[in-house]
Structure 1
Amino acid sequence: MAQAYICNAFTLYIHSNTARNQFMNKKIFLSLCLLYTTGLRAQNSRQIGAAGGQEALSLKKDISYLSSNELKGRQIGAAGEQMASTYIQNALGKDKLVVSVQTVEFVKLRMATAQCKMAVNILGLDSIAKTFTLFSEYYPLSQSSNKDSITANWVDCGYGIVDKKTGKDDFAGQTIAGQIAVIRTGYFAMDEFPDSLWDEASNLSAKILAATQRGAVGILFIRGNNKIAAPSGSLNRSEKTQNIPVFFYNSTGLFPRAPLTLVSHIRVFKGQGQTVIGYRNNHKKKTIVVCANHDHIGVNEFENSAKVGSQEIHNGANNNASGVASLLALAHSLKGKRYNKNNYLFVSFSGEEMGALGSAEFLQHPPQQLKAKNNPLGKVNYAIHLQALGRLDPDSKLLSISGQGSSPAFHRAIERIQTDTHQLRIAPNAPTETNTNTDSKTASYLLESFAGASIPLLAMSTGINEDDRRPSDDEEKINYWGLLASVDCAKQVIAALNKKGKLPLGKNPSR
């Protein structure tokens, strides 16, 4: 009962912002934090310490700035993301870490230019019989190469279906290599049988893969029939491109038996983000990587908001200002004998909202501090990922910790975590709502990526809620009690593993 009373009082404080009571509120706040930590000592025989109050104030300060309207949602490459990067650099520098920045390049826009061409040649002559009009008659698809020109004979590949289950192969008996594959969208009688066994094999990606594997030098889709929707003419910046032109011709008709010319000329606009790295050198052989991401959705410039069509600022207080604030709290506190058997590398990625660009760049081009002999990541012991830690559910009180299977040492360390179960419970690899959302996909990608580099990784999150990736993910909704407890759990795991040396790899890194 006392714990609940203190928690409610804490919540009242944390949302009180009147200037008149600022000094008194700060004193009350520190007192409440001390009461909370005292209660934890009594119930769990462990200490968070008197610094808990100041840590909570720092968490609030960091989240308040990173999720303020001033930063306009921290979209990668935008001014707000650069401001967040500078803030993180300064915070790490104050803790006397060696700070560096890694540039993350991303594609902002792909746009077809007037230099694109689709034409039918005159048979036997090196001249054009007919040129088609860009956008109204044809257009390049997202999978098309950016710059390419090809003139070749074409071959009718039907619907381009390859399905092992039914034994269907529309490419069978034809020479595809060195030719342009003309493929109809959809599948035969698609409007009459929308749930056909060929539905999965009829998507564009499957057909493109089948044609390229058979040596096609260009791909031209045409309509299967006029009832089948045309593929999008918007060039997806994140789509994997082929090294050949891939076009769509907005007609059901074929062409004369003469060579076709396809010229792909797509302009690519690029931007840059900044991954921030802070290194604490304890002069040990191994290094622990603590990571989060500071970029978010901005004002939905790239239409990745959960609120379709929104142009509002997406402040991303929980996702993932809370993770970055937790990272900064750990950077400040992982000192002394409890934590001195490893070096520490604190990494705040950029570009994660655009498809984990920052973490991919980090693993492909890691900083020199992690290099051991011929292995660029040879000094890494293990990693901890902090994502959306600020909205601990008041009913379930679950902190999800994924990745225990990446090292057997993790399970034993997590079993030793002591918490007030009235305030927080550990849910290792729990099949909660967290595991079906975007944050879970990010965690899963990181688990797989780090496992591929032979690095054990734990991913910590309190899960998502109705505000995730929406303009309503604001600072006043942060559960600071849950955030403090989650940060403390991370400290306990690191302390428990302090003297374990290099952690062994587990057999199930993605669990």
Structure 2
Amino acid sequence: MLRILFLSGFLLQVLLLQGQEVVSYSQNQKKDYGSEMKQNLHVLASDSLQGREAGTQGELMARDYIVGFYKKLGILPIPGKDYTIPFLFSEGCSYSLGTMSFKSKTYEMDSHFFYLNHLVGYEFKGKTHFVGCGLTPKNYLGTDSVTNQGLVFVIDVNYSDTCHKIGNCLEYFDMVQSAVSLASERNPTAVILVSSDPKKYPVYSNWMLKPVRPTIPVVGADTKLSLQLLENKEDSVFSVNNFSKNEQTGYNVAAFIDNQKPTTIVLGAHYDHLGFGGFASRYNGPASIHNGADDNGSGTVLLLEMARRIKEAGYKNHNYLFVSFSAEEKGLLGSKAFLSQHNFDNSTMMAMLNFDMVGRLDSVEPRINLIGTGTSVQWDSLLTASDPGLIKQSRSSSGLGGSDQMSFYMHKIPVIFFITGMHKDYHTPYDDADKINYKGMVEVLCLAENIVVSLNGMDSLSFRETEAENSGSRKRSGVTLGIIPDHAWPGKGLRIDAVTPGKTASNFGFETGDVIVQIDDFIVSDIMSYMKALANYKKGDIAKITYLRGDFSTTVDVTF
């Protein structure tokens, strides 16, 4: 009976949505909104803000500009809060006096081992569990992410079966990174790297490894400690150290329209970028300002314009929370902090709309990618009813993905992530304001407002976990081609939006615009099938990749 009542309510909401009037803008409105966003973006993506990196003066300048915008509109901060909400983050720790005890012997940091994940402290204890090379799911049989706390995975990086001459094996580090990723995905207490052939396959102290779960310690052992760990594959290990987090302060900015309603629509966009480049940059030249006009100046100014539109239109059926996140580029740190700080009653959040890279709408075939449509059973019908018919929609169900909506999805809040697509200027100094399609941004703005109007006619959304999270133990690819996929591509296959110089795709002649349709016997119909195909390969494997360039089909043997 409850299910019947739920379905009846759902169908009633669908019928109401189908009868709603679609919001449209006049030519003068389009001109005004585009001009306003262009003006704001030319400030936020100017050289004077030096790339808006979290923890820098550029971030503070962007923060204050956003606060000034909300003050001018007369939109207040969250009750009891300031517009700016600080949070601490660390890009790396400093260590001293580290020791590790194993088999009644004590080993010292730097002399016998070194730390390879500088985002955590190294105080842990557990029982060692040898997982061989650590490169395949078979190495982890009998383990899972629930019961592995208390286990310290030991990985042997002697990859002689793949890298016969370590001096000529450029893939060695990538293989180690893949093993660490696979191990940390299973949530152990720590990971220790050893080598049964340290002369040919040493554990390097300068490796900077990135676990899937960034809170997991990763230790590299020298020859002496490696030998002990290999000879005693299941025994107790105890680690202590003194460390400093080298914390910095980032700032989220939040404004709130309080309509005294029990439900709140959250609209967000990250305003930080890469500063002068750093580790995340795709640019190989000298340090240069990365202005991040599209990533994510575009989402930031669209969010501000959404705030203006919602206030002027006077939508009253929900409260509206506008959040500009910082430190997204450092791992969604701002959105994670905002939710964990309990700045707001998260249980009242009905939905979250996230705008990230919405400034490069294709003027010939305009299409927006909407990610997260599977996070509520109502999204598809709502999005169809909300469509003003200006741009085509490509929909992806998963609530996961590399932007701030993922933090809200993990708190069981329905989400939609707006993105017009990747491009060759992504994470380079060439992502500038003069390359933005402002008319296209107005069309994205119109779609977003219509979605808000549709939500205004609903009392609730039902959260639903997407298949990507419930797929069990996912295979993780140990290889990449070095491309940026076109997320808004509506056709069959995977269209390449950009090729990274010096990487595999570049070395084998792939170009922007090529569409990959097959890898050996695996048919590539979309990004997901592409990733599933790559999961079957390891470094050094050879695959026949078929791609389309215009009307011509080409097959090439590619060595990963």
Residues 275 and 358 of structure 1 are in contact (CA less than 8 Å); yes or no, is this contact kept in structure 2?
yes
Give the aligned partner of residue 87 of structure 2.
Answer: 104
The question of 1:396 aligning with 2:365 is answered yes
The 3 A distance-change label for structure 1 pair 156 and 287 is closer
Q: 1:306 Cα shift? A: 1.5
Instruction: Give 3-state SS (helix, strand or coil) of 1:363's partner.
Output: helix
Give the aligned partner of residue 116 of structure 1.
Answer: 98
The question of 1:246 aligning with 2:219 is answered yes
How high is the TM-score relative to the length of structure 2? Answer: 0.64
Instruction: Give 3-state SS (helix, strand or coil) of 1:339's partner.
Output: coil
Q: 1:279 Cα shift? A: 0.3
> Cα deviations across residues 148-174 of structure 1 (Å, max 9, x unaligned)?
498x9x9895947697748989xxxxx
In 2, Cα distance between equivalents of 1:45 and 1:211? 47
Residues 187 and 202 of structure 1 are in contact (CA less than 8 Å); yes or no, is this contact kept in structure 2?
no
Letter aligned with residue 276 of structure 1:
V
The one of 414, 428, 446 aligned to 1:470: 428
In 2, Cα distance between equivalents of 1:149 and 1:337? 55
The one of 302, 305, 314 aligned to 2:281: 305
> Cα deviations across residues 189-218 of structure 1 (Å, max 9, x unaligned)?
4545999xxx899824556789957xx9x9
The question of 1:62 aligning with 2:40 is answered yes
The question of 1:429 aligning with 2:400 is answered no
Instruction: Give 3-state SS (helix, strand or coil) of 2:442's partner.
Output: helix
The question of 1:442 aligning with 2:442 is answered no
The one of 51, 58, 71 aligned to 1:80: 58
Residues 274 and 349 of structure 1 are in contact (CA less than 8 Å); yes or no, is this contact kept in structure 2?
yes
Give the aligned partner of residue 484 of structure 1.
Answer: 442
Q: 1:462 Cα shift? A: 1.0
Instruction: Give 3-state SS (helix, strand or coil) of 2:227's partner.
Output: coil
Give the aligned partner of residue 184 of structure 1.
Answer: 156
In 1, Cα distance between equivalents of 2:183 and 2:305? 50
- Structural mapping, 1:258-337, within 5 Å: 264-301=241-278, 303-308=279-284, 310-335=286-311
Give the aligned partner of residue 456 of structure 2.
Answer: 498
Letter aligned with residue 333 of structure 1:
R
Identity of aligned residues (%): 24
Give the aligned partner of residue 139 of structure 1.
Answer: 114
In 2, Cα distance between equivalents of 1:110 and 1:161? 26
The one of 407, 410, 413 aligned to 1:455: 413
Residues 134 and 140 of structure 2 are in contact (CA less than 8 Å); yes or no, is this contact kept in structure 1?
no
> Cα deviations across residues 23-54 of structure 1 (Å, max 9, x unaligned)?
xxxxxxxxxxxxxxxxxxxxx99444643333
In 1, Cα distance between equivalents of 2:150 and 2:466? 43
Give the aligned partner of residue 531 of structure 2.
Answer: none
> Cα deviations across residues 441-479 of structure 1 (Å, max 9, x unaligned)?
324x724x4334332211111112111111000001111
Residues 268 and 353 of structure 2 are in contact (CA less than 8 Å); yes or no, is this contact kept in structure 1?
yes
In 2, Cα distance between equivalents of 1:67 and 1:90? 17
In 2, Cα distance between equivalents of 1:290 and 1:179? 40
The question of 1:379 aligning with 2:348 is answered yes
Q: 1:254 Cα shift? A: 3.2
Letter aligned with residue 461 of structure 2:
L
Instruction: Give 3-state SS (helix, strand or coil) of 1:116's partner.
Output: strand
Long gaps (5+) in structure 1: 1-43, 170-176, 372-376
Residues 187 and 224 of structure 1 are in contact (CA less than 8 Å); yes or no, is this contact kept in structure 2?
no
Residues 314 and 471 of structure 1 are in contact (CA less than 8 Å); yes or no, is this contact kept in structure 2?
yes
Q: 1:221 Cα shift? A: 2.4
Residues 373 and 379 of structure 2 are in contact (CA less than 8 Å); yes or no, is this contact kept in structure 1?
yes
Letter aligned with residue 227 of structure 1:
K
Residues 211 and 219 of structure 1 are in contact (CA less than 8 Å); yes or no, is this contact kept in structure 2?
no
In 1, Cα distance between equivalents of 2:128 and 2:56? 46
Give the aligned partner of residue 91 of structure 1.
Answer: 69
Instruction: Give 3-state SS (helix, strand or coil) of 2:453's partner.
Output: helix
Q: How many residues align?
A: 428
Which entry has the higher C-alpha Rg, 1 or 2? Answer: 1
Q: 1:331 Cα shift? A: 0.7
In 2, Cα distance between equivalents of 1:403 and 1:209? 22
The 3 A distance-change label for structure 1 pair 189 and 71 is same
Letter aligned with residue 156 of structure 2:
R
The 3 A distance-change label for structure 1 pair 138 and 393 is same
Residues 50 and 290 of structure 2 are in contact (CA less than 8 Å); yes or no, is this contact kept in structure 1?
yes
The one of 194, 197, 203 aligned to 1:221: 194
The question of 1:411 aligning with 2:411 is answered no
Letter aligned with residue 411 of structure 1:
D
Instruction: Give 3-state SS (helix, strand or coil) of 2:246's partner.
Output: strand
Give the aligned partner of residue 331 of structure 2.
Answer: 355
Q: 1:188 Cα shift? A: 6.5
In 1, Cα distance between equivalents of 2:351 and 2:187? 42
Q: 1:367 Cα shift? A: 2.4
Letter aligned with residue 322 of structure 1:
S
Instruction: Give 3-state SS (helix, strand or coil) of 1:77's partner.
Output: coil
